[in-house]
Amino acid sequence: MANDYLTDETPLGPARRPRLSAVKRWLASTAHYAADLALPPVCIACRSPLDAHGALCPPCWSGIEFVRPPLCDRLGVPLPFSDGAITISSQALADPPVFARARAATIYTGVMRRLVHALKYEDRHEATRFLARLMADAGRELLRDADALIPIPLSRTRLRTRRFNQSAELARRLSRISGVTFEPLALTRTRDTASQVGLTLDRRRANVAGAFAVPPRWRSRVEGRSIVLVEDVSTAGSTANAGAAALLTAGASRVDVLALALVSGSPNFYDR
Which residue ranges make up each domain of the chain? 21-62, 66-262
Q: What tens digit of pLDDT does each residue of 152-177 get? A: 998 777 767 777 899 999 999 999 99
Q: What tens digit of pLDDT does each residue of 245-271 get? A: 999 999 999 999 999 999 976 545 433
Residue % of the chain over a pLDDT of 70: 75
User: How far, in Å, CA of 150 to CA of 181, rounded?
Assistant: 9
Average pLDDT, integer, range 19-40:
59
Residue 184 preceded by cis peptide, ω within 30: no
Structure confidence at residue 18 as a pLDDT band (50, 70, 90): very low
The pLDDT of residue 120: 86
pTM of the model: 0.81
Q: Identify the weakest region by mean pLDDT among 2-6, 25-29, 166-170.
A: 2-6
End-to-end CA distance of the chain: 35
Q: What tens digit of pLDDT does each residue of 87-100 get? A: 888 888 988 999 99
Strands (E), the chain: 102-107, 148-151, 181-182, 188-189, 212-213, 226-234, 254-262
Query: Where is pLDDT greater, at 229 or 13?
Result: 229
Report the CATH architecture of 66-262.
Answer: 3-Layer(aba) Sandwich (3.40)
Structure confidence at residue 15 as a pLDDT band (50, 70, 90): very low
* Size of the chain, expressed as the number of residues it contains: 272
What is residue 218's DSSP assignment? G
Q: What tens digit of pLDDT does each residue of 122-149 get? A: 888 889 999 999 999 999 999 999 999 9
Are 107 and 262 in contact by the 8 Å Cβ rule? The answer is yes
User: How far, in Å, CA of 112 to CA of 42, rounded?
Assistant: 16
Cα-Cα-Cα-Cα dihedral sign, residues 199, 202, 204, 210: negative
Strands (E), 185-265: 188-189, 212-213, 226-234, 254-262
The pLDDT of residue 56: 94
The pLDDT of residue 196: 57
The pLDDT of residue 142: 98
Cα-Cα-Cα-Cα dihedral sign, residues 119, 125, 127, 133: positive
Are 152 and 227 in contact by the 8 Å Cβ rule? The answer is no
**Mean pLDDT computed over every residue of the chain:** 83
